[in-house]
Structure 1
C-alpha cells in the first residue's frame, strides 16, 4: 500500500483526506460581500459541527446553515449555544453584528401559511446579509382583497420576493401591481396536479407581468440572496 501511495504522489495525485471533506472559502465575504454559507441537507451533524468549528477558529464572524433538521439543530446548539434555530425555515444562524447595512427594504410576500417554511428561509438569509425585511403572509389570490390591502406596504420595498404554491398565480398578480423587481419562488405545496411545484414553476416562468424573475422550486434561500444582491445597489448609489 505504501509503495502505491508513493507512486501516486510522484504522479502528482493527492490523497483524499477523509477526516476533512470540506474546503472553506474564508475570503468569500471580502470578494462577494457575503460569507460562506453551509448547506446542511446531506451533511451529517458531525460534518456541520466540524465546518462551524473551523469557521469560528478562523475568524468568521457569521454562521448560516440552511436545511438543518431538528435533530441536527439540537446537537449543534448544544455545542455552539450562540446559534439561533428557526424550526420552520430549518436554518441555524449567528452573527456577531446584526446591524442593517443596506438602506432599502426587501418584502417577502407569502401566498399561504403552507408556504411559510420556504418564505422564512428567504427572510432569514436576507436579514442575515444585512437587509431590513418585511414579511407579508397569507395574501394568496383566492382572496385577492387581502393582497390589495397590503400593496402599500409591499410597494415600499426596493425588491419583492413572492412565494407561492398551487398554481403560482400570486407572482404575476404582484408583478402587475408594482414597479419593483419581483423574484418568484414556486413551492411544492399543492394537490396532485401541482406535481411537487412544477405547475407553479411553469406558471411563474410564463408570467404575463414584466419584471418577474423565477428561482427553483422551494428555493427561498436563492430568492432571498438575489433580493439582497439587488438591494445592495441602493447602497452603492448613495
Structure 2
C-alpha cells in the first residue's frame, strides 16, 4: 500500500464514504500470504519506509512471480520486478499485457492502475537517456551499462529526477569533461565501474554531492568477479564515498531515492 492509497482510504472514512470497520479490515492486511507459492507480501512497506516492496525475480517459480506481482498490484499500485530473465520477462508479458519489460535493465514494470481502471503509461527506460537530473548515474565503460540501467530504471520507477551518463571511465577521462556542469548540478551521483574501479574516486574528488559507488563484475582474471573494483572503492582516499555490493545497481538506487525525494516534495 502506497502513502497515496492510505490517504485516499482515510479521506473516504472522513467523508463517510467508507465505514471504519471496512477500512480497518483493509489496513489489517499487512501481508498477503500464499502458502502454495511461499509468498508473504509486505503490502504496507511503502507506508513504513517510503519505498514499497520490489519483487526479486531471480530464483522464483513462474507461479510465485506471477502471484507476487498480482498481489502487490491488487490496489492498483505500480509494481517493479528486478533481475528478470528474458524467459521470465516473456512469461510476465503474457500474464500482464499492460506491463513492460526492458531486457537491458532486467526490470519488469507493472504500471499504476487508476480507480477508474485507466492505466498510467510506464516510463521509458531505454536509450537515449537524459544526461542531467537530481541523481546522475555514471558508468566507466559500456560493459557497465546493464548495472547502471538497473539503477536508473529503479529511480524512474520511484519518480526521481535522474539521468544516465555512459562510458566516461579513466581510460579516457577527457570524455568526462563535457558532463561536469550536469554532474556539479546533481544532488547525488551513482558511479558504476568494473575493472580497477577507479571512476568513483575521480568523481568524488571533483564533486560536492554524495557519491555512491557500485563495483561491477566486469574485468579479467585478477578482477575476481568485481572484488578488485570493490576493494578499490572501499579503499578510496576521497571522503564522501559510500559503496554497495557488486552489481547492485538496485541497492544504490534505493539508497539514493531515500536521500533525494521526488521533485517538489520536501525531505522528511
TM range (shorter): 0.7 to 0.9
**1:166 and 1:200 in contact (8 A); partners too:** yes
Counting only pairs closer than 5 Å after superposition, residues 88-127 of structure 1 correspond to structure 2 as 88-96=104-112, 105-127=134-156
Structure 1 runs of 4+ aligned residues shifted over 6 Å read: none
Question: Is the contact between residue 195 and residue 228 of structure 2 (CA under 8 Å) also seen in structure 1?
Answer: yes
1:84 paired residue number: 100
1:211 aligned residue (230, 240, 256): 240
Report the alpha carbon displacement of residue 20 of structure 1 after superposing the two structures with TM: 3.3
Residue 174 of structure 2 is matched in structure 1 by 145
Q: Which residue of 1 aligns with 2:192?
A: 163
1:64 aligns with 2:89: no
In structure 2, the residue matched to 1:47 is 64
Q: TM-score, normalized by length of structure 2?
A: 0.77
**1:132 equivalent in structure 2:** 161
| Separation in 1, partners of 2:159, 2:175 | 29
Cα deviations by residue, 1:4-33 (Å, 9 ceiling, x for unpaired): xxxxxxxxxxxx975130111111111111
> Structure 1 pair 233/207, CA: closer, same or farther in 2 (3 Å)?
farther
Q: Find the aligned partners of 2:77 and 2:259 in 1 and give their Cα distance.
A: 23
- Looking at structure 2, the residues matched to 186 and 55 of structure 1 have their Cα atoms a distance apart, in angstroms, of 31
Normalising by structure 1, report the TM-score.
0.87
Q: How does 1:30-41 map to 2 (within 5 A)?
A: 30-41=47-58
Q: Is the deviation greater in 75-84 or in 224-233?
A: 224-233
* Cα distance in 2 for residues equivalent to 1:120 and 1:145: 23
CA distance in 1, matches of 2:183, 2:58: 32
Gaps of 5+ in 2: 1-32, 113-119, 124-132
Q: What is the deviation of 1:154?
A: 1.4
Contact 1:95–1:128 under 8 Å retained in 2: no
CA contact (8 A) 1:183 1:212 kept: yes
Residues 18 and 69 of structure 1: CA distance in aligned 2, closer, same or farther (over 3 Å): same
* Residue-by-residue CA offset, 1:73-96 (whole Å, 9 max, x unaligned): 101111101111111110101332
Residue 22, structure 1, aligned to residue 52, structure 2:
no
Work out the CA distance in 2 between the residues paired with 1:78 and 1:216: 33
Query: What is the aligned partner in structure 1 of residue 22 from structure 2?
Result: none
Once the two structures are superposed, residues 185-238 of structure 1 have per-residue CA deviations (whole angstroms, 9 ceiling, x without a partner) of 000000111000000000000011111100000000000111111112984359
Describe the SS at the equivalent of 1:23: strand
Check conservation: 1:106, 1:158, Cα contact below 8 A.
yes
Provide closer, same or farther for how the CA distance between residues 20 and 237 of structure 1 changes in structure 2, counting only shifts above 3 A.
closer
